[in-house]
C-alpha cells in the first residue's frame, strides 16, 4: 500500500485517559483520546489532516491556501496557524458576516492575519465551492499558486490523518494492555470518522467505529464518508470492499443546527466538566459526547465494554458561547 507522506507538526501521540467517574456512572469503561492536545493555536483534530493536505500543497508549489468553514471553524483557525508556521498565506471563506468584535477562533484568525471573505449563509451554502475555485483562478492570474482544502480537510488526502491516528491507537492499546472494542467520534465533515473507518477496514479489525453527526443527517454523511474512503483507497492504489451501511452514524443529537446550541446542551457540558474536569465544546464534542452518554444509558452500547471517545478539540471556539451559559 502507498501511504502519502506528511508533515510532522502535531504533538503526537496524544494521550488516552480513562474517565473514571463517568465509567462508574455508566458501568462502562469510557476512555478519551485527547486530540485537543495536538498543539495550541493549531490544536484539535484538524491538524492531523493538515499534516497531509499542506504537505501536498507544498509539493505542488502552492504559496497560498484557500479553505472554508463557519465563523468559529476550528479547521479555519488551525489552517491559518499551520500555514503561517510553514510560511504560506491563507485565504478563508467563512459562513456569516464580519464581526465588529470577533471572539474565539475568528479573533485568532484576525490576529494571525488571514485574508477573510465573508459570505452570507445562503450564498455560502450554495456557492462556497465555486467561490473558492474562482479565488484560485484569481490568484493564478496574479502568478500565485493556490491550493484548495475542503471543509474540515475532509477528502482523500486529509483522511490519512485519522488513518494514522488509528495506527497510533493500536500502539497505545499495547502500551495500556487494553483493547477498545468501540471508537466514537463527532461527525462534522466526515474526515475524522473516515480515517478511523479506513484503518479499521484495512487492518480487518472487529472494532465498531461509531459517529454522531452534529449537522445534516446520518445518510448524508454515510454517502460523504463513502466517497472520502474511496478517494483514499485510490491514492493508496489499494482495493477494499465495504458497504455504505457498514458506516455507523447515530443521529438525533445535532440539535437545532451547526454551531447552534440549546440550554440543555450547555448544561450537559457543565455536568461533564464538574464530573471529570473535562471541557467539551458546544459545536462538536459536547453534542457527540452527549449522544454517547445518552445512548449508553439507553442500551445502544450494551455489547461494548471498552469505549474510546475522540476529543477533537474546539476549546478556543467555546469563548464565543460565553453569554449563552447560565451561571
* pLDDT digits 0-9 by tens, 169-188: 999 999 999 999 999 999 99
- pLDDT value of residue 324: 83
Q: What is the mean pLDDT of residues 89-100?
A: 97
Q: What is the mean pLDDT of residues 55-83?
A: 96
State which H helix or E strand residue 294 sits in: helix 285-298
pLDDT-derived band of residue 318, with 50, 70 and 90 as boundaries? Answer: confident
CATH of 16-44+155-324, one of 3.30.70.150, 2.10.10.90, 3.30.450.40, 3.40.50.1100: 3.40.50.1100
Does position 210 have pLDDT exceeding 90, yes or no?
yes
CA 163-310-303 angle, 5° bins = 95
- pLDDT value of residue 41: 80
pLDDT 10s digits, 103-136? 999 999 999 999 999 999 999 999 999 999 999 9
Does position 317 have pLDDT exceeding 90, yes or no?
no
Nearest to 77 by CA among 35, 110, 123: 110
Look at residue 248 and give its three-state secondary structure: strand
- pLDDT value of residue 14: 98
- pLDDT value of residue 224: 98
181 vs 305: CA distance, rounded Å: 7
- pLDDT value of residue 18: 98
Q: What is the mean pLDDT of residues 4-9?
A: 96
Please name every residue paired with 248 in a beta bridge, in sequence order, or none if there are none.
210
38 vs 2: CA distance, rounded Å: 25
Average pLDDT value for the chain: 96
Q: What is the mean pLDDT of residues 302-310?
A: 98
The full DSSP string for 119-167 is: E-HHHHHHHHHHHHHHHHHHHHHTT--EEE--GGG-STTTTHHHHHHHH
What are the φ/ψ torsions at residue 105 (nearest 5 degrees)? -60, -35
pLDDT 10s digits, 214-242? 999 999 999 999 999 999 999 999 999 99
- pLDDT value of residue 326: 74
- pLDDT value of residue 314: 87
Please name every residue paired with 31 in a beta bridge, in sequence order, or none if there are none.
18, 308
- pLDDT value of residue 42: 76
Residues annotated as part of the active site: 73
Please name every residue paired with 187 in a beta bridge, in sequence order, or none if there are none.
213
The boundaries of every CATH 3.40.50.1100 domain in the chain are 16-44+155-324, 46-153
Does position 40 have pLDDT exceeding 90, yes or no?
no
pLDDT-derived band of residue 26, with 50, 70 and 90 as boundaries? Answer: very high
What are the φ/ψ torsions at residue 250 (nearest 5 degrees)? -105, 120
State which H helix or E strand residue 209 sits in: strand 208-213
Class of domain 46-153: alpha beta
| Helices 74-86 and 104-111, packing angle to 10 deg | 20
pLDDT-derived band of residue 323, with 50, 70 and 90 as boundaries? Answer: confident
Nearest to 228 by CA among 306, 327, 151: 151
List, in order, residues 6 or more apart from 65 with CB less than 8 Å away: 54, 57, 79, 83, 88, 89, 90, 91, 146, 147, 148, 149
Least confident segment among 39-48, 178-187, 276-285, 297-306: 39-48
- pLDDT value of residue 205: 86
pLDDT-derived band of residue 327, with 50, 70 and 90 as boundaries? Answer: low
Look at residue 95 and give its three-state secondary structure: strand
Amino acid at each position: 500500500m502507498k501511504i502519502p507522506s506528511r508533515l510532522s507538526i502535531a504533538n503526537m501521540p496524544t494521550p488516552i485517559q480513562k474517565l473514571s467517574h463517568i465509567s462508574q456512572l455508566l458501568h462502562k469503561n469510557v476512555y478519551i483520546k485527547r486530540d485537543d492536545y495536538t498543539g495550541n493555536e493549531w490544536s484539535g483534530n484538524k491538524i492531523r489532516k493538515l499534516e497531509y493536505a499542506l504537505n501536498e500543497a507544498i509539493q505542488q508549489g502552492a504559496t497560498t491556501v484557500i479553505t472554508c468553514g463557519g465563523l468559529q471553524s476550528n479547521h479555519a483557525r488551525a489552517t491559518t496557524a499551520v500555514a503561517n508556521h510553514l510560511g504560506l498565506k491563507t485565504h478563508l471563506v467563512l459562513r456569516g458576516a464580519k464581526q465588529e468584535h470577533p471572539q474565539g477562533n475568528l479573533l485568532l484568525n484576525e490576529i494571525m492575519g488571514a485574508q477573510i471573505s465573508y459570505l452570507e449563509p445562503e450564498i455560502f451554502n450554495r456557492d462556497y465551492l465555486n467561490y473558492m475555485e474562482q479565488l484560485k483562478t484569481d490568484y493564478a492570474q496574479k502568478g500565485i499558486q493556490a491550493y484548495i482544502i475542503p471543509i474540515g480537510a475532509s477528502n482523500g488526502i486529509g483522511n490519512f490523518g485519522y488513518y494514522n491516528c488509528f495506527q497510533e491507537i493500536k500502539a497505545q492499546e499495547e502500551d495500556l494492555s487494553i483493547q477498545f472494542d468501540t471508537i466514537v467520534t463527532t461527525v462534522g465533515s466526515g474526515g475524522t470518522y473516515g480515517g478511523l473507518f479506513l484503518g479499521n477496514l484495512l487492518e480487518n479489525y472487529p472494532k465498531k467505529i461509531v459517529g454522531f453527526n452534529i449537522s445534516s443527517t446520518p445518510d448524508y454523511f454515510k454517502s460523504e464518508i463513502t466517497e472520502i474512503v474511496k478517494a483514499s483507497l485510490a491514492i493508496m492504489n489499494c482495493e477494499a470492499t465495504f458497504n455504505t451501511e457498514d458506516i455507523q452514524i447515530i443521529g438525533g443529537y445535532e440539535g437545532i443546527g451547526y454551531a447552534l446550541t440549546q440550554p440543555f446542551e450547555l448544561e450537559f457540558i457543565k455536568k461533564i466538566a464538574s464530573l471529570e474536569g473535562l471541557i467539551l465544546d458546544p459545536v462538536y464534542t459536547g453534542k457527540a459526547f452527549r449522544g454517547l452518554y445518552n445512548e449508553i444509558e439507553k442500551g445502544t452500547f450494551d455489547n461494548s465494554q471498552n469505549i474510546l471517545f475522540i476529543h477533537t478539540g474546539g476549546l478556543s471556539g467555546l469563548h464565543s458561547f460565553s453569554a449563552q451559559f447560565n451561571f
